Amino acid sequence: MTRVDDDGLICYSGGVFRTMESTMTKPIRVAVTGAAGQIGYSLIFSIAAGDMLGPDQPVILQLVELPVAMQALEGVGMELDDCAFPLLHSIELADDPMQGFKGADVVMLVGAKPRGAGQDRSDLIKSNGPIFTGQGEAIDAVAADDAKIIVVGNPCNTNALIAQSRAKRIPKKNFTAMTRLDQNRAVGQIARKAGVAPADVHDVFVWGNHSDTMVPDVSLGTVRTGSGTKSVVEAVSADWLGGDFDKTVRTRGKAIIVARGKSSAASAAMSAVNHIHDWFLGTGESKITSMAVPSDGSYGIPEGLIYSFPVKITAPWQYEIVRDLKVDDATKTRMMASAKELEEERAAVADLL
Ligand code: NAX
């Protein structure tokens, strides 16, 4: 049996008649900067495979690089072609965000310089900050009205603030930064310690800045074991949570640089995919996830800072900060220290805002 779709194409797949509904869904335009970099090289293949926006959602990839990296980007584009991803509607390459962000529904700001040897955080802010003024302006000028933005390039929270300040047309709430890698690191450590799969660990999250002042929080966390679901605190020891666990999560980025000689890439790409996936499609079995989003003043965090909170996804592309959690004094002190660090970062880039 055959059937002819609107374009006159006969659709037949794997012996099962398949309507072309999926390929007739309007493609989502995803712009990615730094697409030829380490993270980009994992990220864009995962997006094209459907990991981020779901198995029925076609995508248009709009890949943005510096002029100097365009040749490498062309090579990446050739590899994307060679994968023949069923969901990859088309690929556009650009060395200018004013072109690369045109009509983008999702903008993933990955491109930035990683921290060099001997560079401290304030040097990094000064060298990467200006990238995000231009990109914020390009988002304002040409992206979709309701574009959703994730900033991965470090210092990601403050870079998101800079881009947001230059894109007044786009709702402020749509500017987010990635702390999902920190959450995933925490989940990975707990799963390993408890002897379960990461899929059995839920509702662990992080507060604050994507830096070593972040605060991993397991107070809502659960672990599913053979003998039922327990709180994280019951499943692993409190001593370990307050000691090795906390330190490992907060300093994991540095440990990976020492071991690999390069910063995290595949895990960062996976986490960016998770961030957008959950924002669009929900958190599955978990009730919450971590996203760095504009503070609304909850928990005394100064309004406007892009701060990692536990959030609930209430509808596609809608999140709400989880309010009124009981926070113990020690955690509150650390949350405020991370907020203070973000206030200092904001002051350091005041001329860019
Ligand atoms: P790479 O140096 O491998 O790649 C960066 C790419 O960005 C390069 O190809 C470069 O040409 C491009 N680029 C630089 N400026 C650009 C601009 N203005 N427009 C477009 N492209 C531009 O770095 P990679 O390992 O991919 O890391 C990218 C960023 O992610 C870094 O800032 C890094 O610090 C940050 N990270 C953030 C993480 C997070 O959890 N938020 C974790 C991983 C990573 O450290």
Residue 216 and residue 313 share a domain: yes
The model's pTM: 0.92
The CA 312 to ligand 1 mean position distance, Å, reads 28
pLDDT at 217: 97
Shared-domain flag, residues 195 and 339: yes
Instruction: Report the pLDDT value the prediction gives residue 20, as an integer from 0 to 100.
Output: 41
Give the CATH number, domain containing residue 92.
3.40.50.720
Question: In the structure, what pLDDT confidence band is assigned to residue 124 with cuts at 50, 70 and 90?
Answer: confident
Nearest CA residue ID for atom 39, ligand 1: 152
pLDDT band at 279 (very low <50, low <70, confident <90, very high): very high
Is 133 a residue whose pLDDT tops 50? yes
Between helices 266-281 and 38-48, what is the axis angle to 10°? 40
68 and 51 in one domain?
A: yes
Q: What is the pLDDT of residues 152-169, one digit of tens each?
A: 999 999 999 999 999 999
Q: Which structural domain range is residue 70 located in? A: 27-177
Pocket of ligand 1, beta carbon within 6 A: 33-34, 36-40, 64-66, 69, 110-112, 114, 131, 152-154, 156, 178, 181, 210, 263-265, 268
Domain count for the chain, please give it: 2
Please report, for residues 74, 138, 312, 319, 330, the alpha-carbon distance to residue 135 in angstroms, rounded to integers and kept in the order given.
21, 5, 28, 24, 38
Q: What is the mean pLDDT of residues 141-162?
A: 97
SS3 of 241, please?
Answer: helix
* Residues 330, 204 within the same domain: yes
Q: How many helices (H) and strands (E) does the chain have?
A: 12, 14
Q: Whose Cα sits closest to atom 32 in ligand 1? A: 153
pLDDT-based confidence at residue 60 (cuts at 50, 70, 90): very high
Query: Is the domain of 187 the same as that of 168?
Result: no
What's residue 4's pLDDT?
37
**Same domain membership, residue 209 and residue 348:** yes
Residue whose structure tokens are 């965090």: 301
Q: Establish if 219 belongs to a structural domain.
A: yes
> What is the number of residues in the chain?
353
88 and 233 inside one domain? no
pLDDT digits (tens, 9 = 90+) for 243-260: 999 999 999 988 998 999
Task: Give 132 Cα–ligand 1 centroid separation in angstroms.
Answer: 12
Cα of first residue to Cα of last residue in the chain, in angstroms, is: 61
- Given a cut of 60, is residue 3 above it in pLDDT? no
**Same domain for 148 and 198:** no
Residues 154 and 190 in one domain: no
Per-residue model confidence (pLDDT) at position 13: 35
List the CATH number of the domain containing 241: 3.90.110.10
Same domain, 145 and 294: no
172 in the same domain as 214:
no
Answer yes or no: is 9 within a domain. no
pLDDT in tens, 307-341: 999 999 999 999 999 998 999 999 999 999 999 99
pLDDT number for residue 214 = 96
Last residue of a domain, which of 150, 177, 204?
177
User: Per the domain annotation, does 17 fall within a domain?
Assistant: no
